Amino acid sequence: MNCVEIKVYGKVQGVGFRYRVKQKADEYGLTGYVMNSNDGGVNAFVCGDFEHIEQFIHFCELSPGESQVKEVSVHWVDPPQKPFQNFEIRLDV
């Protein structure tokens, strides 16, 4: 299993970005979470097969819906010791 931390910057809060990201993660069978960050961006932790994660990252870069993505930062990480069971939207920090 592959996992990645993604940070997305731009106009991504208050525009349905997290909901569209969750729909895409569910479509690809990915697990993890997405949440707003204090700096105005959105953070995601995503696990699944490499190809679907790559497609997910590309989807985020395309500014889905009303969002206006300016930058996407990607950091590949080790899977968590306790795997996620699904993909969820976490409450704002």
Query: Catalytic: 18?
Result: yes
Out of 2, 36, 38, 86, which one is annotated catalytic?
36
Out of 2, 18, 43, 86, which one is annotated catalytic?
18
Query: Catalytic: 2?
Result: no
Written as one string, the DSSP assignment of 5-72 is EEEEEEE-SSSSHHHHHHHHHHHHT-EEEEEE-TTSSEEEEEEE-HHHHHHHHHHHHT--TT-EEEEE
The residues assigned a catalytic role are: 18, 36
